[in-house]
């Protein structure tokens, strides 16, 4: 299970080789074998023995900002010291195979976006005409670009990013305007949103980023050595690359919950300059953790979302090791 420390002033320490969580009026002891990760979303007191215990049991320890984006993550030192694989990883980023992989990932993302739009259109008949046109336009653009795509061309990233941007603009243009109030929106924004969908999906993307970072690190790959996204200081660019085909999966999770009226907690509103409230953030964390275990179809395979994440990263690892 994932431990979420979302209350200001909680104290996390170690007692009898177990994690010991203390609040003002209650306490709880949890054995490390029962924990998959520890997520901190509010100011807490964290002891150094608790960090050591997490590292010893290879439990990712993540501290997030109020938007759910991880800002601190700890590992055991020996856990990430896999030099040979990372040398090959670096070599892979400049090989034509990387361009081919990147295009395949974008196509998976586009297929997921089209599937999500189809799901939405099935439930909103008025959307069918717009969906069919968007599906046709995206399909034609994808076919045109992939047929002429040259992985040996030094400018291949521009082609991949253009296709991704084109599909995303058509996708959100349709999806955002068809959601019920207060989730309706016309533009995707990362902050100060007037609607409720944007901050909610951004927070879920933060959870997806956290999970993907954990999966990538567990294979020994470098989360900061990206292929499509440009290298940035303190940015896990490979995580961003590998998140892309799973964003539509998370979109569909939230859209489904909205259409099925399962988001009553979220509908309580946004406070403090567009940020989600503590109750809303807590609901989204539980929603995402539960969604990780849901069995879904991805690239023709039915398994849990968590399993698909591991499978995608393992496939990249196999490509890299083959160099």
CB distance 236 to 101 below 8 Å: no
- With a cut of 80, say whether residue 218 has pLDDT above it: no
Domain boundaries, the chain: 2-59, 83-321
Check the CA dihedral 260-262-268-269 and report its sign.
Answer: negative
| Per-residue model confidence as pLDDT tens digits over 114-131 | 999 999 999 988 889 999
Lowest mean pLDDT among 9-23, 49-63, 105-119, 246-260: 49-63
Mean pLDDT of 304-310: 90
pTM, two decimal places: 0.80
pLDDT digits (tens, 9 = 90+) for 59-111: 878 887 766 667 787 766 654 446 788 899 999 999 999 999 999 999 999 99
How far is the C-alpha of 309 from the C-alpha of 42, rounded, in Å?
Answer: 27
End-to-end CA distance of the chain: 36
Residues with Cβ within 8 Å of residue 16, at least 6 apart in sequence: 29
Mean pLDDT taken over the chain = 88
pLDDT value of residue 151: 96
Enter the CATH code of domain 83-321.
1.20.120.920
Encode pLDDT of 152-178 as tens digits: 999 999 999 999 999 999 999 999 988
Domains 2-59 and 83-321 share a fold: no
d(CA 107, CA 135): 13
- What average pLDDT does range 54-63 have in this prediction? 83
CATH code: domain 2-59 is 3.100.10.20
């Amino acid at each position: 299970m994932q431990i979420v420390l979302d209350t200001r002033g909680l104290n996390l320490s170690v007692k009898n080789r177990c994690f010991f969580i203390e609040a003002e009026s209650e306490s709880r002891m949890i054995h490390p074998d029962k924990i998959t990760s520890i997520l901190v979303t509010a100011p807490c007191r964290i002891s150094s023995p608790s960090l050591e215990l997490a590292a010893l049991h290879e439990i990712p320890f993540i501290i997030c900002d109020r938007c759910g984006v991880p800002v601190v993550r700890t590992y055991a030192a020996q856990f990430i010291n896999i030099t040979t694989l990372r040398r090959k990883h670096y070599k892979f980023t400049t090989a034509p195979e990387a361009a081919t992989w990147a295009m395949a990932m974008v196509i998976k993302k586009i297929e997921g976006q089209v599937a999500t739009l189809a799901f939405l259109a099935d439930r909103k008949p008025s959307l069918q005409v717009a969906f069919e046109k968007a599906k046709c336009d995206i399909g034609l653009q994808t076919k045109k670009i992939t047929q002429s795509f040259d992985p040996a061309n030094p400018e291949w990233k521009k082609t991949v990013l253009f296709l991704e941007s084109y599909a995303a603009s058509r996708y959100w243009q349709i999806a955002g305007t068809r959601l019920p109030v207060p989730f309706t929106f016309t533009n995707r924004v990362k902050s100060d949103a007037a609607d409720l969908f944007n901050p909610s999906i951004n927070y879920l993307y933060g959870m997806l980023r956290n999970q993907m970072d954990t999966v990538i690190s567990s294979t020994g790959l470098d989360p900061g050595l990206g292929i499509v996204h440009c290298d940035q200081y303190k940015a896990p660019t490979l995580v961003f690359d590998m998140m892309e085909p799973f964003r539509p999966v998370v979109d569909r999770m939230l859209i489904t919950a909205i259409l099925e009226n399962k988001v009553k907690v979220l509908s309580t509103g946004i406070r403090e300059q567009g940020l989600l409230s503590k109750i809303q953030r807590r609901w989204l964390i539980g929603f995402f953790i539960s969604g990780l275990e849901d069995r879904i179809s991805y690239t023709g395979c039915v398994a849990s979302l968590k399993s698909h994440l591991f499978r995608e990263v393992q496939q990249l690892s196999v490509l890299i090791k083959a160099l």
